[in-house]
Chains A and B, each alone.
Chain A
Amino acid sequence: MAAEGGEAETQQKEESKRHTYPLVRTCDMNDELKTECMELCVTACEKFSQNNESAARMIKETMDKKFGPTWQCIVGEGFGYFIEHEVKSLLYMFFGGTTAIIVWKCA
């Protein structure tokens, strides 16, 4: 049992290692916009790994500054959403194996 538990643990660790990279689920953005936004999200999540709100705040405010008003951002681990977004301004991605980030622009 212990061995199995140990195996499961190592498996999980491997999986968690596997799953830390940012994985884009849906993206409706230009390429440069997408790369910048992704990098920003990763930075924000790494910086505020404990606090989703601050991460979301950072993302939203930086996006507003860089790409104009008005961006919205949600960072969380379990939620459902139904949003309306401007075309060519949506990014929905996973990060760190547990966090989901959705950023969209809508006035």
Chain B
Amino acid sequence: MPAKVGADKKQAHPVVGGAAAQRRLSQSHRGSTGDFRDDDQELGNMPATYMGEHNLFGRQDDQLKLTDTELNEEHTRILTARNPEAAENIVRFSHKERMFKLIPHVDQLAVHFQLDSNLVHKDSEDGKRQLVHDTEDQRIQETEVTTTAVDQDGEVKTKEGEEDDEEKAKKTTASTGKAKKLTNQFNFSERASQTYNNPSRDRETFVEQTPRATISDNVSQWSICDAYNEDFEQQQKAKEKEQKKVSVKKEDERKKKFVVADQHTVDDMTKFTRSKAASISLKILERMINQNTFDDIAQDFKYWEDAADEYREQEGSLLPLWLFQYSMVKKLACTNLTWNTHYNDLFAVAFGSYDFLKQSRGMFVIYSLKNPSFPENIFQTESGVMSLDFHPHYANLLCCGFYDGSVAVYNIADENKQPKYHSTSRNGKHTDPVWQVCWQKDDLDNNLNFYSVSSDGRVVCWTIVKNDLMYTDVVQLKLEKPASQSEEGIPLASLGCGTCFDFNKQQDYLFIVGTEEGKIHKCSKSYNNQFLDTFDAHHMAVYAVRWNKFHSKIFASCSADWTVKIWDINFKDPLFVYDLGSPVGDVVWAPYSSTVFAACTADGKVYVFDLNVNKYEPVCEQIVVQKKRTKLTHITLNQRYPILLAGDDRGNVISLKLSPNLRKKPKVKKGQEVAEGPEAEIAKLEKILSLIRDPDDIKSKSLGQQGTTTSITTN
């Protein structure tokens, strides 16, 4: 017996249609006994109750006897599509690989039955007969057991015309008659299933596009060639520039064009700016710019004449022009102003401090009218500069007196900002501030010399001898003692303080000195110890004394006692006295007229007097300062231009233009010659003076009458 028990696992087969499981033919073929037994081979599956009956069936003697437990064993039967007869390990020789290879897939087809037959056309006689036969058979079958047969092995059976009875049982017929529907002949059902598809999800992201740019061009042979040529030229130029030195053309002031060489390196630029040639050009350029900036002022300076002066006979006005300011001197007061003798547009301003307690550094600057925005030269000094003076012949020499009592001579053309000569304490320096300095004519040895007056009561003459500064005391300002005072001991002569002096233009040896006590002394260079004369001029310190530029006998003085007085050197009393209401800082005669003088006061006003026009009232009285409570300290008039400069204690210098009325020449009567020149001026002044003076006054006030018995008046 084939050992089916336990070896085969047959799949449990679901019965379709509810029909009883038909014993397979194959089983029945193989079944050895041939008896019709239901699963008698697999006795193990039988329930126990059935066991008892199996004895009834009669067992063969040589049948395998199994114990009860063995009988009760469960054997699963699984139905597979394997062909049990088929070999499981077939090995064939593969020529390709030249070796024996196990064939993994063995054909599991087992043909159980095969019948060859033929087809008969249904319309033929034979076919018709067949059909009739079939339908009859069908009727028979339907009444009998209809069977369904399921082909489990998947055997494909070909339908044929002739059939066995046994095969009829297999056939399932659902159709009757001729109208046969070919239906599911094998009663198979479709089986399908849907696997689980994971749901898909869209994922998207947006990437920023890399930045792009477009470019377009045409290229051709000529454009390439041009490009090369251009590049070549540029290279040549670069080589040339490296070799070339910097050169700047000097330009005339009138020309507006200015050539500056291209500079690549910083070093070249700095060298260029510091070279002398460049500085001249830069200066010119600066002046041009200033001219443009202050264009309207420059026009006024040249051309503007106050039209109102035609209607005002006795009045004039001052037109403010440039304001000279410099940041470094804002805290200093202008202590002196002086014009250069050679260059009419150049003037020097001294800066220092009048305050006794607040003494600091000082400086003096040289300005040019052509460049109002910045000084031409700046000289810093250790102590405040109180006075300065340009040499009448050597326009670059400037002497100055300091607050600390020393004097110095500068060469302003010098690059080095140090004085050429400087007086030291060993060298006869003054012990008090030097209030005024003045150049004199060269002495007999052709040495330059200048004078200085100071609060220590000395008037000193300094001579430049062989690179040295030699001093000579000229006069000592002795104080007059009142006659009543009598002392037993040696009378100590105390010195007064000199504040200003002036030398007579015509008689060089004659000079007048003003003092703090208010006296004015007439002195001579030849007499050391004695004054020629003394005027009790003012009650307070005399700030300025000035000789008239034309008349050798007239001088003016101004003082802190608010007055300006005009004197004749021969007379004790002043000719004119003007009370200006505030301390008068400076008085100056006009260079163009013997009767015009200007004064500046501490309340910021400038007064211009013209004795020809009005003997008692100023022709012009004008506030010129910008801020209130600025004191005007010094004033000066230009030789050539009708410009007046006024310096104040805030470090500003204001320039003013004199209106025509202030510059008047006397009216000419018809027929008369136009009188010009100094003589005319003198005559003019004389005429005025003569109007004032009575013949009696001459007698009583004359200085020469003092102590003499001769008198013109009759007793």
> Which residues of A have CB within 8 Å of B232?
18-19
Partner of B215, one of A18, A90, A98: A90
Q: What A residues does B486 contact at CB under 8 A?
A: none
Interface flag for B1 (CB, 8 Å): no
Q: Which residues of A contact B224 (CB under 8 A)?
A: 19, 77, 94, 97-100
Q: Is B225 an interface residue (CB 8 A)?
A: yes
- In the assembled complex, B220 has its CB within 8 A of some CB on chain A: yes
Q: Which of B210, B217, B225, B231 has the most CB of A within 10 A?
A: B217
Inter-chain contact B216/A77, CB cutoff 8 Å: no
Contact A83 B225 (CB under 8 A): no
Check A5 for interface membership: any CB of B closer than 8 A: no
Contacts of B231 in A (CB 8 A): 23
Contact of A23 among B210, B213, B220, B227 (CB under 8 A): B227
> Is there a chain A Cβ closer than 8 Å to B467's Cβ?
no
Are A79 and B216 in contact, CB atoms less than 8 angstroms apart? Answer: no
Q: How far is it, in angstroms, between the C-alpha of A83 and the C-alpha of B212 when the chains are bound?
A: 10
- Shortest CB-to-CB span from A15 to chain B, Å, is 8
B229: chain A residues within 8 A (beta carbon): 15, 19
Known: A25-B227, A94-B228, A97-B228. A81 touches B217 (CB 8 A): yes
> Which of these, B211, B216, B219, B228, contacts A86 with CB under 8 Å?
B211
In the assembled complex, how far is the CB of residue A34 from the closest CB belonging to chain B, in whole angstroms? 16
Q: Which of B210, B214, B218, B227 contacts A83 (CB 8 A)?
A: B214
In the assembled complex, the Cα of A81 lies from the Cα of B218 at a distance in Å of: 6
Contacts of B225 in A (CB 8 A): 15, 19, 97
B-chain residues with CB within 8 Å of residue A83 when the two chains form the complex? 214-216
B216 touches A94 (CB 8 A): no
Which residue of chain B lies nearest to A82 when distances are taken between CB atoms in the complex?
A: B216
Q: Name the prevailing secondary structure of the A interface residues.
A: strand
CA distance A84 to B209 in the complex (A): 13
- What count of chain A residues pass the 8 Å CB interface test? 29
A97 to B211, CA, bound (A): 33
- A1 interface hit (Cβ, 8 Å): no
For B184, the chain A residues whose CB sits under 8 A away are none
Binary per-residue interface labels of chain A (1-38) against chain B in the complex, 1 for a CB within 8 Å, 0 otherwise? 00000000000000100110001011010000000000
List residues 189-234 of chain B with CB under 8 A from any CB of chain A.
Answer: 210-221, 224-225, 227-229, 231-232
Q: How far is the CB of A33 from chain B (nearest CB, A)?
A: 15
Contact of A80 among B211, B214, B219, B221 (CB under 8 A): B219
- The answer to whether B215 touches A107 (Cβ under 8 A) is no
Residue of B nearest to A87 (CB): B211
Binary B-proximity of A48-84 (CB < 8 A = 1, otherwise 0): 0000000000000000000000000000111111111
Q: With both chains docked as a complex, state the minimum distance between the C-beta of B234 and any C-beta of chain A, in angstroms.
A: 11
Q: B211: nearest residue on chain A (CB-CB)?
A: A87
CA distance A62 to B422 in the complex (A): 83
CB neighbours (8 Å) of A28 from chain B are 213
Shortest Cβ distance from residue B216 to the other chain A in the assembled complex, whole angstroms = 4
**Knowing A18-B232, A94-B228, A97-B228 touch, does A77 contact B221 (C-beta < 8 A)?**
yes
B216's partner among A19, A78, A80, A98 (CB-CB below 8 A) is A80
Query: Which residues of chain B come closer than 8 Å to A92, judged between CB atoms?
Result: 215, 217
B213 touches A79 (CB 8 A): no
CA–CA, A106 and B227, complex, Å: 27
The answer on a CB contact under 8 Å between A78 and B212 is no
* Residues A85 and B215 in contact, CB atoms below 8 Å apart: yes
Q: How far is the CB of B214 from chain A (nearest CB, A)?
A: 5
List, in ascending order, chain B residues with CB within 8 A of A86's CB: 210-213
Chain A hits for B220, CB < 8 A: 77-78
**B→A interface (CB under 8 Å):** 210-221, 224-225, 227-229, 231-232
Show the binding face of A for B, using Cβ within 8 Å: 15, 18-19, 23, 25-26, 28, 76-87, 90, 92, 94, 97-100, 104, 106-107
Question: Lowest 10 CB-CB distances: which A-B pairs, in order?
Answer: A82-B216, A19-B228, A80-B218, A100-B219, A87-B211, A78-B220, A84-B214, A86-B210, A94-B224, A84-B212
**10 A-B Cβ contacts within 8 A?**
A26-B217, A82-B214, A82-B215, A83-B215, A87-B211, A97-B225, A98-B221, A100-B219, A104-B215, A107-B210
